[in-house]
Amino acid sequence: MMKIAFEQHLNSINTAYTSFFNNHRHIDFKILYKPKLSSKIVTTFRYFFFYLRCFFDFIFKYDLVHINGTKLGFIAYVASFFGCRYIYTIHGFVIDKSYYRNGIIEKLDVLFMKLCCTRAKSVNTISMYSKEKLNEIYGVDSNVIYNGFDCRMFKKISSPEKIEIRKKYNIPLDSIIYISVGRKNKAKNPFLVIDKFIQISNNSDDAFLIMVGDGVLFQNVQSYLDSKGLIGRYLLIRNIPFEIISELYGISTYFISGCREEKFGLVALEALACGCRPLLPRSGAFPELYSSPEFFYEPVVTTWEDDRCFNKKRLEILSSLNWAKSISKYENLYYKYLDADNE
């Protein structure tokens, strides 16, 4: 039985991997969950001992480690000189290199990423766009393995369920719902989401906007919504349990993204699985994943001819981007590098 450690990432990704490897015949799979946040001093000690334990576990306990971030990636890099074997998946990075001139933490982040790549058995990323930018900006070569969605969690819901969910959140039953999910920061561009909501809906009284996600711009977003005269026509949620985000997708007609540098856009895919029609910027990884012009709000919004056209394209995308296919590729990588080292 091979012991594989997987660095904690997004809830949807953790859940997908745990389900896939549950009761696996040949792989003992474990998620490495990071310490819970507390006071600054307590959190610092928790992380110190977490990284220290991981260092020794990477060497003596696990056959292979799957790294998803730079800090634990640096631990794996150092441990690799003592026998640790790891693969590295790069999910996110900053396109604008000037960002890294702002402080030591940002510079260390880039340094750790580059170091982690040098000794990884395999360096992977989540889209061709991400691969090209990593190579262009940082000189990092990588393989592409797309993300997927959990078909058990993200799916269409019935009309009676939609009514009950609308009542639960006090959303008018006759409203057309637009939803956006993501951190409230500069990269995710929540203000563009609001502007596009107003533009696409023609500021109609029956249009309703749901925005989910915390971040440094949360209060600014609320003020911006109010300044646009949207009081009573939006629901702003700071945090929501991952297990119930699908119900908000399920009652929504459209999903709006404001991020122009999305490396994959997992939430857009999960919304699509629930029946939402994504409205996306024509940039980042979106054009390679969503080929029809109806998925984009640039240069202009194009409507679908009918529901059959949308559903056909929706099923094509969902069949090609699912966790069963994606994780199977990582499973093959696990076997490949463990078998190679055992020869």
Q: Would you say residue 120 has pLDDT above 90?
A: yes
What torsion, rounded to 10 degrees, do the Cα atoms 326, 332, 336, 337 define? 50
Residue 191: band (very low, low, confident or very high) from pLDDT cuts 50, 70, 90: very high
Q: What is the Cα–Cα distance from 147 to 266, expressed in whole angstroms?
A: 7
Peptide bond before 241: cis, by omega within 30 degrees of 0? no
Q: What is the Cα–Cα distance from 75 to 214, expressed in whole angstroms?
A: 29
Residue 128: band (very low, low, confident or very high) from pLDDT cuts 50, 70, 90: very high
Residue 108: band (very low, low, confident or very high) from pLDDT cuts 50, 70, 90: confident
Which residue bears the tokens 């920061």?
A: 185
pLDDT at position 214: 96
pLDDT at position 183: 94
pLDDT tens for each residue of 318-342:
999 999 999 999 999 999 988 766 5
Over residues 156-168, mean pLDDT = 96
Q: What is the Cα–Cα distance from 262 to 284, expressed in whole angstroms?
A: 5
Q: Which fold has domain 2-148+323-340?
A: Rossmann fold (3.40.50)
Q: Would you say residue 146 has pLDDT above 90?
A: yes
Domain boundaries, the chain: 2-148+323-340, 159-320
Find, among 246, 255, 287, the residue nearest to 149 by Cα.
246
Over residues 7-11, mean pLDDT = 95
Over residues 313-318, mean pLDDT = 96
Over residues 91-103, mean pLDDT = 65
Q: What is the Cα–Cα distance from 250 to 153, expressed in whole angstroms?
A: 11
Q: Would you say residue 97 has pLDDT above 70?
A: no
Give the helix ranges, DSSP H, for 120-175: 128-138, 159-168
Q: Over the chain, what is the mean pLDDT?
A: 93
Q: Would you say residue 141 has pLDDT above 60?
A: yes
If one counts every other C-beta atom within 10 angstroms of the C-beta of residue 142, the result is 20
Q: Quickly list DSSP for 260-279.
A: TT-SS-HHHHHHHHTT-EEE
Encoded tokens for 39: 């006071």
pLDDT at position 134: 95
pLDDT at position 270: 97
Same fold, 2-148+323-340 and 159-320: yes
Q: What is the Cα–Cα distance from 275 to 136, expressed in whole angstroms?
A: 36
Residue 19: exposed, middle, or buried by beta-carbon count in 10 A (0-12, 13-18, 19+)?
middle
For the domain made up of 159-320, the CATH class stated in words is: alpha beta
pLDDT tens for each residue of 248-303:
999 999 999 999 999 999 999 999 999 999 999 999 999 999 989 999 999 888 88
Is 30 within 8 Å of 53 (Cβ atoms)? no
Q: Would you say residue 212 has pLDDT above 70?
A: yes
Find, among 205, 161, 180, 196, the residue nearest to 268 by Cα.
180
